[in-house]
Chains A and B, each alone.
Chain A
Amino acid sequence: MADTAKAKGGGTARSTGGRRRSRKDSTTSATGGTTSGVADEKPDVLLDYYRRMLLVRRFEERTGQAYTQARIGGYCHLNLGEEATVVGLMESLQERDYLYTNYRDHGYAIHKGMSPRRVMAELYGRTDGVAKGWGGSMHMYDTQTRMLGGYGIVGGQLPLATGAALAVSYRGGDEIVMCQLGDGTTNIGAWHEALNLASLWNLPIVYAIVNNFTGMGTTVEKSSAEPDLYKRGSAYRIEGVRVDGRDVLAVRDAAVDLVEKARSEQRPYILECTSYRLKGHSVVDPAKYRTEEQVAQARANDPLAAFEDQLEKAGVLTEDKKKEIADSVKDEVADAADFAENSPPPDVSTLFDYTYATPVANESRRMPADPVFAE
Chain B
Amino acid sequence: MSVITYRQALRDTLRAEMLRDDNVLLLGEEIGLFEGSYKITEGLLNEFGEKRVRDTPISEEGFVGAAVGAAMMGLRPVVELMTINFSLIAIDQIINHAAKIYGMFGGQTSVPMVIRTPGGGGQQLGATHSQNIELFYAFVPGLKVLAPSTPADAAAMLRAAIRDDDPVMLLENLGLYNSKGEVPDGDESVAEIGRAAVTREGGDITLIGYSRMAAVGRQVAEQLAEEDISVEVVDLRSLRPLDRQTVVDSVRKTGCAVIAEDDWLTYGIGAEIAASIQEGAFDYLDAPVRRVAMAEVPLPYAKPLENAALPSAESITTAVKETLSAVGKRVG
Q: Is A300 an interface residue (CB 8 A)?
A: no
Query: Are the CB atoms of B241 and A364 closer together than 8 Å?
Result: yes
Shortest Cβ distance from B198 into chain A, in angstroms?
A: 15
Contact for A357 among B57, B75, B93, B102, CB less than 8 A:
B102
Q: Is B164 an interface residue (CB 8 A)?
A: yes
Q: Determine the distance from Cα of A341 to Cα of B220 in the docked complex, in whole angstroms.
A: 63
| A 98-149 contacts with B by CB, 8 A | 100, 129-135, 139, 141-143, 148-149
CB-CB under 8 A from B71, the residues of chain A are 163
Query: Are the CB atoms of A356 and B244 closer together than 8 Å?
Result: no
Interface of B is mostly: mixed
Query: Are the CB atoms of B62 and A170 closer together than 8 Å?
Result: no
Query: Are the CB atoms of A361 and B192 closer together than 8 Å?
Result: yes
Query: Are the CB atoms of B59 and A167 closer together than 8 Å?
Result: no
Query: Are the CB atoms of B65 and A373 closer together than 8 Å?
Result: no
Q: Determine the distance from Cα of A190 to Cα of B90 in the docked complex, in whole angstroms.
A: 10
Shortest Cβ distance from A212 into chain B, in angstroms?
A: 24
Query: Are the CB atoms of A354 and B106 closer together than 8 Å?
Result: yes
Shortest Cβ distance from A147 into chain B, in angstroms?
A: 10
Q: Determine the distance from Cα of A162 to Cα of B93 in the docked complex, in whole angstroms.
A: 13
Q: Is A200 an interface residue (CB 8 A)?
A: yes
A166-B70 CB under 8 A given contacts A131-B104, A134-B103: yes
Shortest Cβ distance from B277 into chain A, in angstroms?
A: 10
| A 64-98 contacts with B by CB, 8 A | none
Query: Are the CB atoms of B241 and A357 closer together than 8 Å?
Result: no
| B 30-79 contacts with A by CB, 8 A | 51, 54, 56-57, 59, 61-75, 77
Shortest Cβ distance from A352 into chain B, in angstroms?
A: 9
Q: Which of B107-115, B260-268, B309-317 contacts A (4 or more CB under 8 A)?
A: B107-115
> What does the 1/0 interface line of B242-275 toward A look like (CB < 8 Å)?
1111001000000000000000000000000001
Query: Are the CB atoms of B105 and A159 closer together than 8 Å?
Result: no
For B, the interface residue count at a CB cutoff of 8 angstroms equals 59
Closest to B59 in A: A193
**What size tier do the contact residues of chain A reach?**
35 or more
CB-CB under 8 A from B288, the residues of chain A are none
Shortest Cβ distance from A123 into chain B, in angstroms?
A: 14
Contact for A162 among B66, B103, B105, CB less than 8 A:
B66
A355-B141 CB under 8 A given contacts A135-B106, A162-B62, A190-B61: yes
Shortest Cβ distance from A360 into chain B, in angstroms?
A: 5
Q: Is B195 an interface residue (CB 8 A)?
A: yes
Q: Determine the distance from Cα of A355 to Cα of B72 in the docked complex, in whole angstroms.
A: 16
Q: Is B97 an interface residue (CB 8 A)?
A: yes
Q: Is B153 an interface residue (CB 8 A)?
A: no
Query: Are the CB atoms of B105 and A361 closer together than 8 Å?
Result: no
Query: Are the CB atoms of A358 and B164 closer together than 8 Å?
Result: yes
A135-B105 CB under 8 A given contacts A163-B72, A166-B69, A362-B194: yes
Shortest Cβ distance from A105 into chain B, in angstroms?
A: 12
> What does the 1/0 interface line of A197-229 toward B look like (CB < 8 Å)?
100110000000000000000000000000000
Q: Is B29 an interface residue (CB 8 A)?
A: no
CB-CB under 8 A from B192, the residues of chain A are 361
Query: Are the CB atoms of B25 and A164 closer together than 8 Å?
Result: no
Q: Determine the distance from Cα of A159 to Cα of B63 in the docked complex, in whole angstroms.
A: 7
CB-CB under 8 A from B77, the residues of chain A are 163
Shortest Cβ distance from B79 into chain A, in angstroms?
A: 11
CB-CB under 8 A from B141, the residues of chain A are 355, 364
Q: Is B201 an interface residue (CB 8 A)?
A: no
Q: Is A9 an interface residue (CB 8 A)?
A: no
Query: Are the CB atoms of A354 and B72 closer together than 8 Å?
Result: no
Closest to A133 in B: B106
Closest to B168 in A: A358
A362-B195 CB under 8 A given contacts A153-B92, A162-B66, A357-B110: yes
Q: Is A367 an interface residue (CB 8 A)?
A: no
Shortest Cβ distance from B70 into chain A, in angstroms?
A: 4
Query: Are the CB atoms of B62 and A193 closer together than 8 Å?
Result: yes
**Interface hub of A132, A201, A360, A364 (most chain B Cβ within 10 A):** A360
Residues in B lying within 8 Å of A, measured CB to CB: 25, 51, 54, 56-57, 59, 61-75, 77, 92-93, 96-97, 101-112, 141-142, 144, 164-166, 192-195, 238, 241-245, 248, 275-276, 279-280
| CB-based closest 7 A-B pairs | A159-B65, A163-B69, A193-B62, A163-B66, A357-B110, A361-B194, A167-B73
A-B contact pairs, 8 of them (CB 8 A): A149-B105, A153-B97, A156-B96, A159-B66, A189-B61, A357-B112, A361-B193, A373-B244
> 20 new A-B pairs (CB below 8 Å) besides A141-B106, A153-B97?
A134-B107, A141-B108, A149-B105, A151-B97, A159-B65, A164-B70, A164-B73, A168-B73, A189-B61, A194-B62, A355-B102, A355-B142, A356-B166, A360-B194, A361-B194, A361-B195, A361-B243, A362-B241, A364-B242, A372-B244
Residues in A lying within 8 Å of B, measured CB to CB: 100, 129-135, 139, 141-143, 148-149, 151, 153, 156, 158-168, 170, 189-190, 193-194, 196-197, 200-201, 353-358, 360-364, 371-373
